[in-house]
Amino acid sequence: MVNRRHFLRLGPLVSLFPSLAFRATQLQPAKTIASDTVQSGLPQGGPLILSTWKQPKAHAAAQAVLDQGKRAIDVVEAGVRVPEADPNDTSVGYGGLPDRDGRVTLDACIMDENGNAGSVTYLENIMHAISVARAVMEKTPHVMLSGEGAQRFALANGFKKENLLTPASKAAWQTWLKTAKYKPVINIERHDTIGMLAIDKAGNISGACTTSGLAYKMNGRVGDSPIIGAGLFVDNEIGGACATGLGELVMRTCGSFLVVELMRQGRTPQQACEEAALRIVKKQDYKDVQVGFIAVNKSGETGAYSIHPGFNFTLTRNGQTEVTDARSYINK
Ligand code: SD4
């Protein structure tokens, strides 16, 4: 598989929604796995910003905060707030596609360099789920708040209640209802869930992950994205990891925690992502569903890997932003 690199200048670029569509006849396992080859044209080392999918606008906002010398937690929060507020991003926050009952329910989590974590699940009518997750981390003795309680907490802490279902997302849902199948068909959905990792100027690592979850999911369904250890994990001594794709596969394998623990055992970020994906491939039916991982270690080396082709990641270092197609277990 050839990795295509796109060098992008920071600035207002139109975000794209990568499709994960592929045909079963194209399935062909990669010949080599667990490679430690770095998939980046940029020199290694921090500070840096790394995220799932094509996220140049989020990286521009994150870089501005990084440039101010702020903490990595501030960098990732500022970054992921961009797609949360973007009505055209149908996987995150405002404009996110609803569940099958027409409700937009958000999942998000955040983790800092001290091992503090905050999370919200099934959050409705609050645009910036990531900032609510941060408030849970900083203002409560808990890690996770859910549903109505999370919303009440948000409102009590100054967040505004608003309708997150845009006319476009509502129309897409109404179209989906005509042929609705019970089973989520992730390989034909579009993805842009953002998991972001950053190393700040002090060398500290933090991460954030935010999503509206699977489009047309069952009401009440919560994915991997707000689960510490599944959608995101950070250990400032070792590194951080984020996952995207079908959350059920990630949750069953504690995906992001696994990636960080593999790095602790000596794997490079690339090797760790590949091994975590292999863990899924060995035990679960992956034929029609996608999972992708990104990772960074304390030295600022990065890795990314997915089960199927179509996953890409964004990396910013020294003000330069690069979007790269990740290697995958299945070759194109
Ligand atoms: C979920 N992992 O809710 C999320 C979906 C996702 O890009 O990553 N979409 O399962």
**CA–CA distance, 33 with 35 (Å, rounded to integer):** 5
- Residue 1 pLDDT: 33
Cβ–ligand 1 contact at 125 (below 6 Å) = no
**CA–CA distance, 145 with 214 (Å, rounded to integer):** 20
Whether the pTM exceeds 0.75: the reply is yes
Cβ–ligand 1 contact at 98 (below 6 Å) = no
Q: Which residues of 300-321 are buried (b: 16+ CB within 10 A; e: fewer)?
A: bbbbbbbbbbbbbbbbbbeeeb
Fold of the domain built from segment(s) 46-328: Glutamine Phosphoribosylpyrophosphate, subunit 1, domain 1 (3.60.20)
Binding-site sequence positions for substrate: 221-224, 244-247
pLDDT < 70 regions, the chain: 1-44, 182-191, 332
State the closest ligand 1 atom to the C-alpha of 248, by its place in the atom list counted from 1.
Answer: 10
Q: What is the pLDDT of residues 63-120, one digit of tens each?
A: 999 999 999 999 999 999 999 999 999 999 999 999 999 999 999 999 999 999 999 9
Question: Could you tell me if residue 122 is left (phi over 0), alpha (psi between -120 and 50 degrees) or otherwise beta?
Answer: left
**Is-contact 230 121, C-beta < 8 A?**
no
β-strands 239-245, 291-297 pairing: antiparallel
Among the listed residues 52, 90, 105, 193, the single catalytic one is 193
Cβ–ligand 1 contact at 91 (below 6 Å) = yes
- Residue 288 pLDDT: 83
The secondary structure of residue 159, as a DSSP letter, is P
Q: Which of 170, 327, 313, 177 is nearest to 244 (CA)?
A: 313
- Residue 46 pLDDT: 82
Cβ–ligand 1 contact at 193 (below 6 Å) = yes
- The residue extents of the domains of the chain are 46-328
- Residue 286 pLDDT: 87
State the closest ligand 1 atom to the C-alpha of 250, by its place in the atom list counted from 1.
Answer: 2
Binding-site sequence positions: 221-224, 244-247
- Residue 188 pLDDT: 47
- Residue 252 pLDDT: 95
324 a catalytic residue: no
State the closest ligand 1 atom to the C-alpha of 231, by its place in the atom list counted from 1.
Answer: 2
State the closest ligand 1 atom to the C-alpha of 247, by its place in the atom list counted from 1.
Answer: 10
DSSP H helical ranges for the chain: 56-67, 72-85, 129-139, 147-156, 167-179, 247-252, 255-264, 269-283
Q: Which of 105, 114, 88, 314 is nearest to 226 (CA)?
A: 105
Angle at 137 between CA 124 and CA 218, to 5 degrees: 30
Q: Report the separation in Å between the CA atom of 202 and the middle of ligand 1, taken as the mean of its atom positions.
A: 31
Residue nearest to atom 3 of ligand 1 (CA): 213
Cβ–ligand 1 contact at 223 (below 6 Å) = yes
Q: Report the separation in Å between the CA atom of 223 and the middle of ligand 1, taken as the mean of its atom positions.
A: 7
